[in-house]
Amino acid sequence: MATPPLAVLGVGLVSGVGLNAEQSCAAIRCGINNFQETRFIGRDGEWLVGSAVELEQPWRGITKLATMASRAIAECFEAGAGGKPEGTPVLICLAEPERPGRPQGLGHVILQDVERELDMRLHPHSRVIELGRVGAVVALLQAWRMLAEARYTHVIVAAADSFLGAATLAAYNSDDRLLTKSNPNGFIPGEAAGAVLLGSWDEDMPARLLVRGLGFEREPAPFGSGRPSRADGLVRAVRGALAEAGLALKDCNLRIADMNGEQHRFKETALAVTRLLRDRKPLFPLWHLADCTGEVGAATLPAMLALLFMGARKDFLPGQTVLGHLGNDDDRRAAFVAQATSAQTLSWEMAAEADYRVKRRSAA
């Protein structure tokens, strides 16, 4: 990726805490969740807890994924500044084909099902990316390349995923990866769909959020490998994103990550920051959406960007510059650097840091 940066012009989000971006982001900002007992029982005999999207019909599988994705895409078009649906390619990101319980043939039919739900034909250059959590970051890179060709004025990156299928829950429960009363080292399964309308930024564009850098790398000691992790892959991915943005880690005011409650994700994040941050930084908040939405897999990045977009628009971000990172269960790692264009967020961060220093002096 290179200049000009990607401009986020509109967002859509369907999650367990809201059926649009406004509702979902407001709930996430307030720390509200929708965790409820599912219809499935875990190995310990207790009901498994999840965060389901409640629609007007009890859809499941591919039908529900297509319905959620189409609603996020439609909201994205309605909220976006410009962009004609028939002239905008849509990149739809899905879970990895090898993910336990993923519906068979999902990648072959999702575009047609989304077209049917939207009652329109998608752009012929629309495509499917099946790379899990990091897939949407790959889609951002592809969107930048498509916009750089000047053949398109806008591109949509969308994603839909669910961990609430019977086969998926059974597989992760058997591996002791779900959060239960007897297993604190696990995640709460969720489902969501998100969409982001992107365009090439210029000085006259009133964009609230810009994506300035992307980074990709492979982790030599992924989860389950049995090798001790030094977060080498994540460190290199973050360095790559920061280098593209022309920034250092000390310049970032906020981190947003895909941590979901599993200890290895927290350890990897902590290791990466320890190895990269060489300057004293009293305030460096870390946001993660899974404590409100549950684990939403491939839909994580669109949900992140939707929250950052709303935060930039409503001035509740703790600073202008954001570092985000994601990782699959395998060795794929990705990072991005986003920047809010609202000046008030910077003054908020400066005021917060000043307040921190006052408290430190008072304690001394």
Task: For residue 210, give the DSSP letter.
Answer: E
Residue 62 shares a structural domain with residue 122: yes
**In whole numbers, what is the pLDDT of the chain averaged over residues?**
90
Q: Are 14 and 150 in the same domain? A: yes
* Continuous segment of H or E residues that includes residue 296: none
Q: Of 188, 223, 199, which is closest to residue 327 (Cα–Cα)?
A: 223
103 in any annotated domain:
yes
More confident residue, 354 or 89: 89
Last residue of a domain, one of 157, 182, 200: 200
pLDDT for the residue numbered 3: 63
Same domain, 35 and 167: yes
Q: Which residues contact 277 (CB under 8 A, 6 or more apart)?
A: 249, 250, 284
Q: What CATH number should be reported for the domain holding residue 42?
A: 3.40.47.10
- The reply to whether 324 falls in a domain is yes
Between the two ends of the chain, the Cα-to-Cα distance in Å is: 46
Whether the Cβ atoms of residue 190 and residue 299 lie closer than 8 Å to each other: no
10 plus 117 within the same structural domain: yes
- Domain termination site, one of 169, 200, 231: 200
| Domain span including residue 290 | 209-363
| Euclidean distance between CA atoms 96 and 113, whole angstroms | 19
Please tell me the predicted confidence (pLDDT) of residue 213.
96
Query: Shortest CA distance to 42 belongs to which of 162, 187, 176?
Result: 176
In a domain, 157, yes or no: yes
Q: Which is nearest to 93 in space by CA: 303, 337, 307, 338?
A: 303
Share of the chain above pLDDT 90, in %: 77
Indicate the number of domains in the chain.
2
E-assigned strands of 238-353?
254-257, 286-288, 321-327, 332-340
Evaluate whether residue 1 is within a structural domain.
no
pLDDT > 50? residue 176? yes
Residue 82 in tokens = 């410009």
146 part of a folded domain? yes
Encode pLDDT of 105-137 as tens digits: 999 999 999 999 999 999 999 999 999 999 999
- End position of a domain, from candidates 166, 200, 234: 200
| pLDDT average, residue stretch 247-272 | 94
Q: What is the pLDDT of residues 246-258, one digit of tens each?
A: 999 999 999 999 9
Nearest alpha carbon to residue 188 among 37, 345, 13, 21: 37
Does 71 fall in a domain? yes
Tell whether 181 and 326 lie within a shared domain: no
Q: Which two tokens stand for residue 111?
A: 């575009």
Tell me, yes or no, if the pTM score tops 0.85: yes
Summarize pLDDT for 296-351 with one digit per residue, the tens.
Answer: 999 999 999 999 999 999 989 999 999 999 999 999 999 999 999 864 444 444 44
129 shares its domain with 216 = no
Residue 50 and residue 162 in contact, taking contact as beta carbons nearer than 8 Å: no
Judge if 125 and 148 occupy the same domain. yes
221 and 337 together in one domain: yes
Residue position matching structure tokens 């202008």: 320
pLDDT tens digits, 46-100: 999 999 999 999 999 999 999 999 999 999 888 755 557 778 999 999 999 999 9
Q: Give yes or no: residues 136 and 182 share one domain.
A: yes
Which is it for the CA torsion 259, 264, 267, 271, positive or negative? Answer: negative
Q: Would you say residue 236 lies in a domain?
A: yes
Task: Average the pLDDT over 254-274 and give the result.
Answer: 94
Q: Say yes or no: 195 and 225 in one domain.
A: no
**Is the pLDDT higher at 363 or at 23?**
23
- 62 with 112, same domain? yes
pLDDT at residue 345, rounded to an integer: 47
**Residue 129 CA, distance from chain mean position:** 15
Q: What's the chain's length in residues?
A: 364
